[in-house]
């Protein structure tokens, strides 16, 4: 078996693959458009993160390919219809980084509500301003979830433990899959989530329905005190509309782990004081990456061995 890996993977995953065959691994291969096709001519599996564009054109250059492994959850960089047409299965790291994303969302909420780093810097600069850093508890506040899947559900149960009220919008949730009321999420409309939440957190895939879901009109319906947190995909928020809303204090602040263009180029949002931004790290913890690398390696092998996998994209 030949495995081609174009982006960062942890050793635990590589070890599994090496036992099964040849492993070609270069974390920067996704940038090397001239090299990739020739490596794929006799590859059985292609393993990627979120930067390799897995297009129909690329798949056409990989006649032996049977499986694409996605070291993560978001599938917006993979042309699923083209993979289906080419008979190539796609497996992903179902739920492997969800807890890390949840903890990131708490870090973001606490950065707004208890800004330890800013306060610490202020003291180190010789100040002792206790009033300046008086904020609000998250206890009793409303967390609004847009998308209540693997991440949203885990975030909800932990937010309840902090005494938050949790409301959610997810029109595609199969009722047998997750009883949201059991985990304390009051499911409601998108309009209500936006109007009532003190913290809005996005957990939807990027697709034609969710692109620009948060835009000038929806931002206007939010409270002036609301913070929005985006760990989903940059395209879910219209960035120029968010820029205007933050600049004119239509909402209080935003934390973005994802941007429409990564790394950013000339993105005005980065100039704003009420914006926190991180380089797509919500799912990047040691634990999540070991789980992800092992899971995707194992599931690719299962597909190549003709066994079933619960991580195949349907």
Ligand X SMILES: O=C(O)CC[C@@H](O)C(=O)O
Return the residue of 16, 39, 146, 250 that touches ligand NAD, per CB under 6 A: 146
* Per-residue x/- track, 166-185, ligand NAD (CB under 6 A): ---xxxxx------------
The one segment of 16-24, 132-140, 269-277, 278-286 that binds ligand NAD by CB under 6 A: 278-286
* Residue 262 annotated among the catalytic residues of the structure: yes
Q: Is 97 in the site for ligand NAD (CB under 6 A)?
A: yes
Q: Is the preceding omega at residue 201 within 30 degrees of 0, hence cis?
A: no
Distance in Å, CB of 241 to ligand NAD, minimum? 18
The one segment of 34-42, 122-130, 225-233, 301-309 that binds ligand NAD by CB under 6 A: 225-233
Cβ-based burial of 93 (10 A; exposed 0-12, middle 13-18, buried ≥19): buried
Measured from the CB atom, the residue of 70 and 141 that comes closer to ligand X is 70
Long-range contacts at 41-45 (CB < 8 A, ≥ 24 apart): 42/2, 43/2, 43/3, 43/4, 44/1, 44/2, 44/3, 44/304, 45/1, 45/2, 45/3, 45/4, 45/69, 45/300, 45/303, 45/304
Q: In whole angstroms, what separates CA 230 from the centre of its chain?
A: 8
Paired with 299 in beta bridges are none
Return the one option of ligand NAD, ligand X, none that residue 71 interacts with (CB less than 5 to 8 A, by type): ligand X
Instruction: Quote the CA–CA distance of 82 and 279 in Å, as a whole number.
Output: 29
Q: Is 257 in the site for ligand NAD (CB under 6 A)?
A: yes
Distance in Å, CB of 213 to ligand X, minimum? 17
Classify the C-alpha dihedral 205-214-134-157 as positive or negative.
Answer: negative
Return the residue of 204, 237, 269, 300 that touches ligand NAD, per CB under 6 A: 204
Q: Is 144 in the site for ligand NAD (CB under 6 A)?
A: no
Q: Which residues are catalytic?
A: 233, 262, 280
């Amino acid at each position: 078996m030949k495995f081609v890996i174009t982006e960062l993977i942890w050793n635990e995953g590589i070890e599994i693959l090496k036992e099964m065959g040849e492993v070609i691994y270069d974390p920067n291969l996704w940038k090397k458009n001239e090299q990739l096709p020739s490596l794929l001519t006799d590859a059985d599996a292609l393993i990627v993160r979120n930067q390799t564009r897995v297009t129909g054109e690329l798949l056409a250059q990989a006649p032996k390919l049977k499986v694409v492994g996605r070291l993560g959850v978001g599938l917006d960089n993979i042309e699923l219809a083209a993979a289906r047409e080419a008979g190539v299965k796609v497996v992903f790291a179902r739920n492997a980084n969800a807890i890390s994303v949840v903890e990131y969302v708490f870090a973001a909420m606490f950065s707004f509500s208890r800004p330890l780093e800013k306060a610490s810097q202020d003291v180190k600069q010789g100040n002792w301003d206790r009033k300046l850093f008086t904020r609000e508890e998250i206890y009793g506040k409303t967390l609004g979830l847009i998308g209540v899947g693997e991440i949203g559900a885990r975030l909800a149960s932990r937010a309840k433990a902090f005494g938050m009220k949790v409301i959610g919008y997810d029109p595609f949730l199969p009722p047998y899959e997750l009883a949201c009321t059991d985990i304390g999420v009051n499911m409601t409309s998108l309009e209500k989530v936006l109007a009532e939440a003190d913290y809005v957190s996005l957990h939807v895939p990027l697709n034609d329905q969710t692109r620009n879901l948060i835009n000038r009109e929806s931002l206007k319906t939010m409270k002036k005190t609301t913070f929005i947190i985006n760990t989903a995909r940059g395209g879910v928020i219209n960035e120029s509309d968010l820029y205007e809303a933050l600049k004119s204090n239509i909402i209080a602040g935003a934390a973005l782990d994802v941007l429409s263009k990564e790394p950013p180029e000339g993105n005005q949002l980065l100039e704003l004081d009420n914006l926190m931004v991180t380089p797509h790290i919500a799912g990047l913890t040691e634990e999540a990456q070991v789980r992800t690398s092992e899971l995707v390696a194992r599931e690719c092998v299962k597909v190549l061995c003709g066994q079933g996998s619960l991580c195949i994209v349907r």
